[in-house]
Amino acid sequence: MQIKDHKVGPNNLFVREAIPDTKSFDSPLVLVHGSFGGAEMWKMVAHGLSEMGFHAYALSLRGHMPNEKINLGEVGMSDYVEDIKQVIEALKLESPVVVGHSMAGLLVLMYTKDNPVKAAVLIDPSTSSEVQREPDEVKIAEIPDVYNVMQAGMPMDPMEVMKALPDVSQEVLMQMKDMLGEESGKARRDRKRGISVPEGSISAPLLIMGAELGDSLPFGISLESSRNMAEYYNADFFEVKGATHPGMLMGEHSGKVVAKLTSWLKGLEI
């Protein structure tokens, strides 16, 4: 496997390319991180996919490490979707499989609604308005313009973090601490108020994966939520047993994510 780093598009976005020694699939994979993170969150999964013969591109959304700092308070979900579009166009990626975790699960769904993709994969996705509960405007108004994981509910006590994330090693938890930055409150308000992606607007093959322990942290995504998304969109669904929300990408069960993604795409003859 070879690794190449790029800066692309009008927003000079960071992209880490993982090139397999032997390419087994024609369609490139575009990996999009969730709140607070960056391309580095995909390291385990990207390496695993490369070993399976996939050519993968993990991007960092605007304002996320290692990209230039900006005023995230002005950035909404539609801006992040534009970032995905810019990366795919700048790198001339044809018929991509677009994969998103958490917030980016919804971003990928939004992108797929209006752009051609070979397939889409949502890992512990944020919900569309068609699936989520009625918005609570009082709580939405309390969301700051920019916030961090502690403000989102990450425990301060390291022992509590380890208890909440039993599938993530202490070494990886220390690395994760350095990977997580700030996030846009505007984008969070967009999600909480509801973003509509009608079921009929998605024609590409769709896989949704849910973590058994997805809501072990306050800002996680419950398994029930992921199931509800799969039911509404008539998507293939896979539960990752023993996995937490961040553990889907950075935990001991991330290999299950790679294995399912590989077998599912093989089934589509991609």
Pairing outcome for strands 56-59 and 13-19: antiparallel
Cross-strand partners of 208: 122, 237
Tokens of 157: 């006590």
pLDDT digits (tens, 9 = 90+) for 71-116: 999 999 999 999 999 999 999 999 999 999 999 999 999 999 999 9
Domains of the chain, by residue range, sit at: 2-267
CATH fold label, 2-267: Rossmann fold (3.40.50)
pLDDT digits (tens, 9 = 90+) for 202-245: 999 999 999 999 999 988 999 999 999 999 999 999 999 999 99
pLDDT digits (tens, 9 = 90+) for 172-194: 998 988 889 999 999 999 999 99
Residue located via tokens 């780093």: 5
Identify the CA nearest to 56 among candidates 108, 109, 4, 107. Answer: 4
Helix (H) or strand (E) holding 162: helix 158-164
